[in-house]
Structure 1
Amino acid sequence: MTVGYVHGYSQQETGRLGDQADTLARLLHQGTAYPAGSRVLEVGCGVGAQTVHLVASSPGARIVAVDIAEDSLARARARLAAQAPAARVEWVLGDVLDLPFPDGSFDHLFVCFVLEHLTDPHRALTGLRRLLRPGGTLTVIEGDHGTAVFHPDSAHARAAIHCLVDLQAMAGGDALIGRRVRPLLSAAGYRDVVVQPRTVYVDGARPDLVEGFIRNTFTAMVASMGPDALAAGLTTPDEWRRGIADLHRTAEPDGTFHYTFFKAVAVNPGT
């Protein structure tokens, strides 16, 4: 019930994930720190882009990072060795729907940018409750491409973004899942669900975000899907070039860009 990672596993994508995690670390990880000695499972760690920040904010926690792709785990190990050589992380190859851990193995679960790639996120969240001790917490972070608002506005840019939404839907995922996080967690049996919008707003006065988010994270993500969008007949070469050019236009000194992530924390009631 998992689907292929729609963005692919290239070195370019590895770099983009690192840029995204580093640029948004303060925004997304603020408020997430696990006690020393607690056992934390990072579900879908990918290339370790978020793992670096988890170990930085919770240096005494015992972190286990799991991913379905062996090559991604190898890149994650290399990233941690380079950026956090003192960190101790246990790496596990496994599918989110069939993880090899006993019931109640973890005090906390961390799931970032994973649910959007699953055909059945409800089943995944329900299954993850088995691994979480009663009273343990689950943290979920997801984006929602429908929240992208920018100036100058452009129908071509919006169409390019919608191509990515369509491609993810065709693969069985949901690029608009941010708006569904709370209903999904509640339906999966979690309690005390609290969702906070984590908004990125970028303009010419924030050059680090212009480069790190508009150019290297969001526009790079959309642009990389061009061959797939063209192959699927979702756009034409001229329309696609115009859409990507107009996204880059928002990074100019008079441009602005707004995007919302959704961060949820919930509790496993244990019943």
Structure 2
Amino acid sequence: MNTATTPSGPVPVVDYVHGYSQREGRRLGDQADTLAQLLHTGTAYPAGSRVLELGCGIGAQTVHLLRSSPGAHIVAVDRSEESLAQASTRVAGLAPEAQVEWHRADVFDLPFADAEFDHAFVCFVLEHLPDPRRALAGLRRVLRPGGTITVIEGDHGSVFFHPDSTYARAAIDCQIHFQAAAGGNALLGRQLQPLLAGAGYDDVAVRPLTVYTDRTRPALVDGFTRNTFIAMVASVRDKALAAALATTAEWDRGIADLLRTAHGGTFHYTFFKALAVNPPAAPAASPRHM
């Protein structure tokens, strides 16, 4: 059963650098399905636990959360009403018996009670926020003491490939530039440990999750190199040309060289997955007696 809840009052929608097109929805779905085993292995929540998924988007990751934790109660939050509608439809089609609540809300103003959740799951969200540390600190209020948070982010600085190309790297730099201009950070993965520790979490453990593709891994070449990463970079073409960050010839050469890595070349990218614990509240100081 899927239920939808919208808090009262207007909720602004972020300037999501990749846009909200049908093509982007397909890209997100391809990305989630291709990387499900890599990203979700080891993440399973007990039956009956309440799990907050922050920034659920079109539900691409929600589906995999439900598959790995069928007895958990997922509460999914996003700022975009359009994305939430797509997420609800997606989950209803793939997991019709799933118990999911959909909330339109701002990550910096969550409409939930203190300590309402046992766990929090945040995937590819912090990279789009102007103040990720503040968002993580705010999550601690709705997460019970001793509850866990799982955060997954990529890092475009981890990309290397063969054959190498300065044009391809320049195209990637354009995507990094526009994400920064929108208030995000495409290099956030490397910062997860200090971000979580600085937001007050304990037992922060981060591990790299590497994607490597070559012609012996055709599913990853199609699902990740071509349909996820290159498609993401290609989506900022018009912005890059309008801002004079590249000429048409330079841009086309950059995308062609990236595609060349999918035809007999190699491609490498690293995601970072963090697990941390919300510590118990410090005991109140005893009053002094005169």
Deviation at 1:148, TM superposition (A): 0.6
- Is 1:149–2:160 an aligned residue pair? yes
Deviation at 1:137, TM superposition (A): 0.2
TM-score (norm 1): 0.98
8 Å contact from structure 1 (residues 41, 64) kept in 2: yes
TM-score (norm 2): 0.92
Distance 1:77 1:245 in 2: 36
- Is 1:136–2:147 an aligned residue pair? yes
8 Å contact from structure 1 (residues 47, 79) kept in 2: yes
Distance 1:230 1:98 in 2: 36
Q: Of 6, 14, 24, which residue of structure 2 is paired with 1:13?
A: 24
Larger radius of gyration: 2
Deviation at 1:19, TM superposition (A): 0.1
- Is 1:264–2:247 an aligned residue pair? no
Structure 1, residues 52-98: CA drift from partner, whole Å, max 9, x if none?
00000000000000000000000001111111122121101101000
- Is 1:118–2:142 an aligned residue pair? no
2:72 is aligned to: 61
- Is 1:207–2:222 an aligned residue pair? no
Deviation at 1:232, TM superposition (A): 2.1
One-letter amino acid of the counterpart of residue 252, structure 2 = R
Deviation at 1:123, TM superposition (A): 0.7
2:50 is aligned to: 39
One-letter amino acid of the counterpart of residue 120, structure 1 = D
SS at match of 1:130: helix
1:170 is aligned to: 181
Number of positions where the alignment pairs a residue of Structure 1 with one of Structure 2: 270
One-letter amino acid of the counterpart of residue 116, structure 1 = E
Note the 1:65-144 alignment, pairs <5 A.
Answer: 65-144=76-155
Note the 1:213-228 alignment, pairs <5 A.
Answer: 213-228=224-239
- Is 1:237–2:257 an aligned residue pair? no
Deviation at 1:2, TM superposition (A): 8.0
Q: Of 167, 171, 174, which residue of structure 2 is paired with 1:160?
A: 171
Deviation at 1:3, TM superposition (A): 4.0
Deviation at 1:45, TM superposition (A): 0.0
Structure 1, residues 188-221: CA drift from partner, whole Å, max 9, x if none?
0000000010000001000000110111000000
Distance 2:193 2:170 in 1: 28
Which runs of 5 or more residues in structure 2 are unaligned?
Answer: 1-11, 282-290
Distance 2:271 2:20 in 1: 23
2:196 is aligned to: 185
CA RMSD, aligned part only?
Answer: 1.0
SS at match of 2:46: coil
Distance 1:153 1:216 in 2: 19
Distance 2:149 2:179 in 1: 25
Distance 1:74 1:3 in 2: 17
One-letter amino acid of the counterpart of residue 124, structure 2 = F
Which runs of 5 or more residues in structure 1 are unaligned?
Answer: none
